[in-house]
Amino acid sequence: MNHDAYDDNYIRSILNSVKSIAMVGASPVNVRPSYFAFKYLAQRGYDMIPVNPGHVGKALMGKPFVASLADIGRPIDMVDIFRNSSHIMPVVEEALSLPQPPKVIWMQLGARDDAAAEKAEAAGLKVVMNRCPKIEYGRLSSEISWMGVNSRTLSSKRAPIPTQGMRLSLNRTSFGGGQTAASDRAAKNKTETT
Protein backbone atom coordinates (compact mmCIF):
# COMPACT_ATOMS: atom_id res chain seq x y z
CA MET A 1 0.00 0.00 0.00
CA ASN A 2 1.28 3.41 -0.95
CA HIS A 3 0.71 5.55 2.13
CA ASP A 4 1.74 8.76 0.41
CA ALA A 5 -1.41 8.88 -1.72
CA TYR A 6 -4.72 7.10 -1.13
CA ASP A 7 -7.32 6.36 -3.77
CA ASP A 8 -10.67 7.96 -2.93
CA ASN A 9 -12.36 4.54 -3.27
CA TYR A 10 -10.07 3.12 -0.55
CA ILE A 11 -10.99 5.92 1.89
CA ARG A 12 -14.67 5.78 0.87
CA SER A 13 -14.83 2.01 1.42
CA ILE A 14 -13.46 2.44 4.95
CA LEU A 15 -15.83 5.27 5.87
CA ASN A 16 -18.80 3.34 4.44
CA SER A 17 -17.96 0.04 6.14
CA VAL A 18 -17.00 0.99 9.70
CA LYS A 19 -19.67 1.55 12.32
CA SER A 20 -17.73 1.83 15.60
CA ILE A 21 -14.65 4.02 16.05
CA ALA A 22 -12.42 4.12 19.12
CA MET A 23 -10.64 7.49 19.20
CA VAL A 24 -7.38 7.14 21.13
CA GLY A 25 -6.39 10.55 22.46
CA ALA A 26 -9.89 12.03 22.42
CA SER A 27 -10.32 15.16 24.52
CA PRO A 28 -13.39 16.64 26.24
CA VAL A 29 -11.90 20.13 25.80
CA ASN A 30 -14.09 21.77 23.16
CA VAL A 31 -11.26 23.67 21.44
CA ARG A 32 -9.14 20.58 20.73
CA PRO A 33 -9.13 19.06 17.21
CA SER A 34 -9.98 15.62 18.62
CA TYR A 35 -13.15 17.07 20.17
CA PHE A 36 -14.30 18.48 16.81
CA ALA A 37 -13.49 15.26 14.95
CA PHE A 38 -15.24 13.12 17.59
CA LYS A 39 -18.36 15.30 17.56
CA TYR A 40 -18.52 15.48 13.77
CA LEU A 41 -18.20 11.70 13.31
CA ALA A 42 -20.74 11.00 16.09
CA GLN A 43 -23.22 13.33 14.35
CA ARG A 44 -22.75 11.32 11.15
CA GLY A 45 -23.93 8.15 12.88
CA TYR A 46 -20.68 6.50 13.90
CA ASP A 47 -20.60 4.75 17.29
CA MET A 48 -17.77 6.77 18.85
CA ILE A 49 -15.77 5.59 21.87
CA PRO A 50 -13.39 8.07 23.58
CA VAL A 51 -10.14 6.48 24.79
CA ASN A 52 -7.94 8.54 27.12
CA PRO A 53 -6.73 7.38 30.55
CA GLY A 54 -6.43 11.00 31.71
CA HIS A 55 -10.17 11.57 31.37
CA VAL A 56 -11.68 8.38 32.82
CA GLY A 57 -14.76 9.36 34.82
CA LYS A 58 -15.69 12.04 32.28
CA ALA A 59 -17.79 11.72 29.14
CA LEU A 60 -17.63 13.15 25.65
CA MET A 61 -21.03 13.73 24.05
CA GLY A 62 -22.54 11.32 26.55
CA LYS A 63 -19.96 8.60 25.82
CA PRO A 64 -17.86 7.64 28.87
CA PHE A 65 -14.08 7.70 28.50
CA VAL A 66 -12.21 4.41 28.79
CA ALA A 67 -8.54 4.09 29.71
CA SER A 68 -7.52 1.67 26.95
CA LEU A 69 -8.78 -0.26 23.95
CA ALA A 70 -9.02 -3.39 26.11
CA ASP A 71 -11.43 -1.56 28.44
CA ILE A 72 -13.99 -1.14 25.65
CA GLY A 73 -15.09 -4.75 26.14
CA ARG A 74 -16.65 -5.24 22.70
CA PRO A 75 -15.48 -5.42 19.08
CA ILE A 76 -14.68 -2.16 17.32
CA ASP A 77 -14.29 -1.54 13.60
CA MET A 78 -11.69 1.23 13.57
CA VAL A 79 -9.06 2.75 15.86
CA ASP A 80 -8.51 6.46 15.15
CA ILE A 81 -5.17 7.46 16.70
CA PHE A 82 -5.04 11.09 17.84
CA ARG A 83 -1.53 10.82 19.27
CA ASN A 84 1.85 11.84 17.91
CA SER A 85 3.92 9.37 15.93
CA SER A 86 6.02 8.19 18.87
CA HIS A 87 2.90 6.74 20.55
CA ILE A 88 1.48 4.89 17.55
CA MET A 89 3.25 1.51 17.79
CA PRO A 90 1.99 0.75 21.34
CA VAL A 91 -1.59 1.58 20.26
CA VAL A 92 -1.32 -0.66 17.19
CA GLU A 93 0.14 -3.49 19.30
CA GLU A 94 -2.72 -3.14 21.80
CA ALA A 95 -5.27 -3.17 18.96
CA LEU A 96 -3.71 -6.32 17.49
CA SER A 97 -3.81 -8.04 20.90
CA LEU A 98 -7.58 -7.57 21.29
CA PRO A 99 -9.68 -10.78 21.12
CA GLN A 100 -11.21 -9.39 17.90
CA PRO A 101 -8.85 -6.82 16.33
CA PRO A 102 -10.35 -3.84 14.47
CA LYS A 103 -10.57 -3.77 10.68
CA VAL A 104 -8.85 -0.38 10.34
CA ILE A 105 -6.05 1.61 11.97
CA TRP A 106 -6.34 5.32 11.13
CA MET A 107 -3.59 7.79 12.09
CA GLN A 108 -4.58 11.44 12.28
CA LEU A 109 -2.98 14.38 10.45
CA GLY A 110 0.72 14.62 11.26
CA ALA A 111 0.86 11.04 12.58
CA ARG A 112 2.80 8.41 10.67
CA ASP A 113 4.57 5.21 11.67
CA ASP A 114 5.50 2.99 8.73
CA ALA A 115 6.63 0.10 10.95
CA ALA A 116 3.30 0.13 12.82
CA ALA A 117 1.43 0.31 9.50
CA GLU A 118 3.39 -2.66 8.16
CA LYS A 119 2.63 -4.65 11.32
CA ALA A 120 -1.10 -3.87 11.10
CA GLU A 121 -1.26 -4.68 7.38
CA ALA A 122 0.56 -7.97 7.96
CA ALA A 123 -2.27 -8.84 10.37
CA GLY A 124 -4.85 -8.06 7.66
CA LEU A 125 -5.92 -4.58 8.78
CA LYS A 126 -6.40 -1.57 6.51
CA VAL A 127 -4.25 1.43 7.40
CA VAL A 128 -4.54 5.16 6.75
CA MET A 129 -1.83 7.56 7.89
CA ASN A 130 -1.61 11.35 8.11
CA ARG A 131 -5.29 11.90 7.29
CA CYS A 132 -8.33 13.00 9.29
CA PRO A 133 -11.55 10.98 8.92
CA LYS A 134 -13.58 14.13 9.62
CA ILE A 135 -11.93 15.96 6.71
CA GLU A 136 -12.09 12.93 4.42
CA TYR A 137 -15.77 12.39 5.24
CA GLY A 138 -16.56 16.03 4.56
CA ARG A 139 -14.58 16.01 1.31
CA LEU A 140 -16.11 12.79 -0.03
CA SER A 141 -19.67 13.65 1.04
CA SER A 142 -19.52 17.21 -0.38
CA GLU A 143 -20.30 18.66 3.07
CA ILE A 144 -16.89 20.30 3.13
CA SER A 145 -17.90 22.79 0.42
CA TRP A 146 -20.53 24.17 2.80
CA MET A 147 -17.99 24.58 5.58
CA GLY A 148 -15.74 27.13 3.93
CA VAL A 149 -13.11 24.90 2.36
CA ASN A 150 -12.22 25.30 -1.30
CA SER A 151 -13.14 22.09 -3.11
CA ARG A 152 -11.11 23.12 -6.21
CA THR A 153 -14.13 22.29 -8.35
CA LEU A 154 -15.57 25.02 -10.54
CA SER A 155 -19.29 24.85 -11.06
CA SER A 156 -22.15 27.26 -11.54
CA LYS A 157 -24.47 24.84 -9.77
CA ARG A 158 -24.41 25.01 -5.99
CA ALA A 159 -24.61 21.75 -4.06
CA PRO A 160 -27.75 21.22 -1.95
CA ILE A 161 -27.59 22.46 1.63
CA PRO A 162 -26.90 19.43 3.83
CA THR A 163 -29.83 18.94 6.18
CA GLN A 164 -30.50 16.58 9.04
CA GLY A 165 -31.43 13.16 7.71
CA MET A 166 -30.08 13.86 4.20
CA ARG A 167 -28.48 10.85 2.48
CA LEU A 168 -24.97 11.84 1.42
CA SER A 169 -22.64 10.41 -1.23
CA LEU A 170 -20.94 8.27 1.40
CA ASN A 171 -24.22 6.37 1.80
CA ARG A 172 -24.60 7.53 5.39
CA THR A 173 -27.32 9.73 6.82
CA SER A 174 -26.28 13.04 8.31
CA PHE A 175 -27.54 13.52 11.84
CA GLY A 176 -26.11 16.98 12.36
CA GLY A 177 -25.12 18.42 9.00
CA GLY A 178 -26.03 21.97 8.16
CA GLN A 179 -26.70 23.06 11.73
CA THR A 180 -24.91 26.37 11.64
CA ALA A 181 -26.42 29.82 11.86
CA ALA A 182 -25.27 30.64 8.30
CA SER A 183 -26.75 27.50 6.76
CA ASP A 184 -29.98 27.94 8.72
CA ARG A 185 -30.30 31.51 7.39
CA ALA A 186 -29.54 30.35 3.83
CA ALA A 187 -32.19 27.63 4.03
CA LYS A 188 -34.75 30.05 5.51
CA ASN A 189 -34.01 32.71 2.87
CA LYS A 190 -34.29 30.15 0.10
CA THR A 191 -37.69 28.99 1.43
CA GLU A 192 -38.97 32.55 1.76
CA THR A 193 -37.97 33.51 -1.79
CA THR A 194 -39.51 30.46 -3.52
Query: Could you give the domains of the chain?
Result: 8-135 (3.40.50.720)
Give the whole-angstrom CA distance, residue 25 versus residue 114.
Answer: 20
As a whole number, the mean pLDDT across the chain is: 85
Work out the pLDDT band at 142, boundaries 50, 70, 90: confident
Give per-residue pLDDT as tens, 41-82. Answer: 999 999 999 999 999 999 999 999 999 999 999 999 999 999
pLDDT digits (tens, 9 = 90+) for 79-104: 999 999 999 999 999 999 999 999 99
CA 164 to chain centre: 18
Q: Is the pLDDT of residue 132 over 90?
A: yes
pTM of the model: 0.77
H helices of 30-132, in order, are 33-43, 88-97, 114-122
Q: What confidence tier does 141 reach under pLDDT thresholds 50, 70, 90?
A: confident
Is the pLDDT reported for residue 153 higher than 90? Answer: no
| CA separation, residue 51 to residues 43, 48, 87, 90, 157 (Å) | 18, 10, 14, 14, 42
Mean pLDDT of 177-192: 54
Q: Report pLDDT digits (tens) over 12-22.
A: 999 999 999 99
Average of per-residue pLDDT across 19-33? 95
pLDDT exceeding 90 applies to what percent of the chain?
69
- pLDDT bracket for residue 143 (50, 70, 90): confident
Spatial separation of the C-alpha atoms in residues 137 and 95, rounded to whole Å: 23
Residue 136, number of CB atoms within 10 A of its CB: 20
